[in-house]
Amino acid sequence: MTEDTRQQIKPDICVIGAGPGGLAAASAAAAFGVNVVLIEKAKMGGESLNSGALPSKALLAAAERAQILRNGGWRNSGWRNGARPGANFSAYAAARDHVRDVIAAVAPQDSRERFTGLGVRVLDGAGRFTDRTTVKVNGFDVKSRRFIIATGSSPVVPAIPGLADTPHLTNETVFDLADCPRHLIVIGAGSVGLELAQAFRRLGAEVTVLEAAMPLADEDAECAGIVLDALARDGIVVRSGVEVAQVRRALARVQVDIVTTAGEQHRKETIEGTHLLVAAGRRPNLENLDLDAAGIRYQPNGIVVDRRLRTSNKQVYAIGDVTDGPRSTQLANHHAGLVIRHALFRTAVRADLLAVPRVTFTDPELAQVGLVEDEARAHSGIIRVLRSAYRDNDRAQATGATDGHIKVITDRRGDILGATIVGAGAAENIAAWTLAINQKLNIGAMAGVIVPYPTYAEVGKHAAMTYFTRGLTSPLVHRIIGLLRRFG
């Protein structure tokens, strides 16, 4: 197609990438009557819908039910409306079907048809910049007033000798397995690696996890330890502080050579399994965008943006995983809202990473927002660490989910700096603490909130109330109470 025959489109906003952030930005702009073009080269919904957050959580839910079945609790398992499985029942096959059903149920919300109905023009293909104000996609030149890059990220495939020639899985391919692995070796002990490790273990696989550093290294070490203890009880072997020296195919199996360092001594060993899963982090999708043509600065870790998420080309924003920062669906959605507010209304916005929660959806769940304890000490010096254990919670006793606790970090005035929850319902309960940090609330607000009984939310309320227990035992408080008694 020659330049003369290309069709030119001039929208107000052009969004490149139809993952969670891109879809949120496109739908919000269209809701305000703005002319929007959305470009996507693959599946609508991006990795989050098709091979990321949603399918992994569906697999975890199915694996939990499989464990209930294995323990004889089929009536409350949720499988087949509570029907007892027959002799040919396959937990993995049922889990795989559940994942596909969940994706199919959610996909219409992210479909081209729905977004076309919202007034968004969806273009199929890979968009790339030809200059500072134009993106080329198939037979179209899109000249937009504003662009939003939301191309997301992809799994990192580390430079391990032999890996390129050895069959291996990533989160993009692991859900396509026809059968459950007999022995799954996982490289990487971050959230993704450990979630999938627990899911496949509960579906019947032996699982070994290899990690060069500390598992869940970015999380509160004490709370991460509770998760790791639970994984060990499930029978998952987690090897930390090991270097993966080489991988290779051995007939129908894979072999991983590892090196463990203790002082000046190095011990080598080989671990053999049936499948290899690489969960060693993510990289931003920058390829083929031709960012240089648009004058957009970028680094290997992502596109460089200012606090308003604008790139070095002020007509172009970048959001979510394609930027240099934490990578999560919730952050991409948060970025989308900020960008639309700034692009359409010139509202002063600022991306605050401390107010974005993160969750590891293992059993027990691990959720965190704001600063962890070590960060808070470095930031504020004198802090208060407030705790409450699940074993002291009535709902936890009723359900048997007594492992875990909450840690709330405040400064000495009681302003909330961070919260970490490890235990049942942590992913849901972190929302209240996210609001507290976002609104810069004092701990008194959380101590005074009324929560239903019996719920896991009482764990957080009880922790907040402990901030004030020190003052209740002071001599001054006792003197005040004694004085008031004299007046009846």
Per-residue pLDDT of the chain (488 residues; tens, 9 = 90+): 555 568 999 999 999 999 999 999 999 999 999 999 999 999 999 999 999 999 999 999 999 998 887 776 544 445 444 444 444 458 899 999 999 999 999 999 999 999 999 999 999 999 999 999 999 999 899 999 999 999 999 999 999 999 999 999 999 999 999 999 999 999 999 999 999 999 999 999 999 999 999 999 999 999 999 999 999 999 999 999 999 999 999 999 999 999 998 777 789 999 999 999 999 999 999 999 999 999 999 999 999 999 999 999 999 999 999 999 899 999 999 999 999 999 999 999 998 889 999 999 999 999 999 999 999 999 888 999 999 999 999 999 999 999 999 999 999 999 999 999 999 999 999 999 999 999 999 999 999 999 999 999 999 999 999 999 865 555 666 576 667 676 75
Closest to 15 measured CA to CA, from 353, 282, 320: 320
Strand 120-124, strand 36-40: pairing? parallel
Which residues are paired to 122 by β-bridges? 38
Strand 253-262, strand 128-131: pairing? unpaired
pLDDT for the residue numbered 88: 46
pLDDT for the residue numbered 480: 67
Residues 6+ away with beta carbon under 8 Å from 185: 207, 208, 209, 210, 254, 256, 271, 273, 275, 276, 277
H/E element, 171 = none
Contact 464, 446 (CB under 8 A): yes
Closest to 288 measured CA to CA, from 137, 141, 173, 170: 137
Contact 55, 99 (CB under 8 A): yes
pLDDT for the residue numbered 380: 83
pLDDT for the residue numbered 4: 57
Residues 6+ away with beta carbon under 8 Å from 471: 477
Helix (H, G, I), strand (E, B) or coil at 393: coil
pLDDT for the residue numbered 73: 56
pLDDT for the residue numbered 84: 47
Alpha helix ranges (H) inside 107-177: 112-117
What's the N-to-C CA distance of the chain in angstroms?
Answer: 93
pLDDT for the residue numbered 86: 46
Alpha carbons 118 and 40: distance in angstroms, whole number: 16
Q: C-alpha dihedral over 437, 440, 441, 446, to 10 degrees?
A: 0
Contact 199, 59 (CB under 8 A): yes
Closest to 321 measured CA to CA, from 54, 22, 11: 22
Alpha carbons 23 and 15: distance in angstroms, whole number: 8
The encoded tokens of residue 115 equal 């977004």
Q: Please, what is the Cα angle at 469 between 465 and 474, to 5 degrees? A: 155
Residue type, 450: I
From the centroid of its chain, how far is CA 103?
17
pLDDT for the residue numbered 67: 87
Rounded to two decimals, what is the model's pTM? 0.91
- Write the burial class of residue 311 (CB in 10 Å: 0-12 exposed, 13-18 middle, 19+ buried): buried
Domains of the chain: 3-155+283-353 (3.50.50.60), 163-280 (3.50.50.60), 364-472 (3.30.390.30)
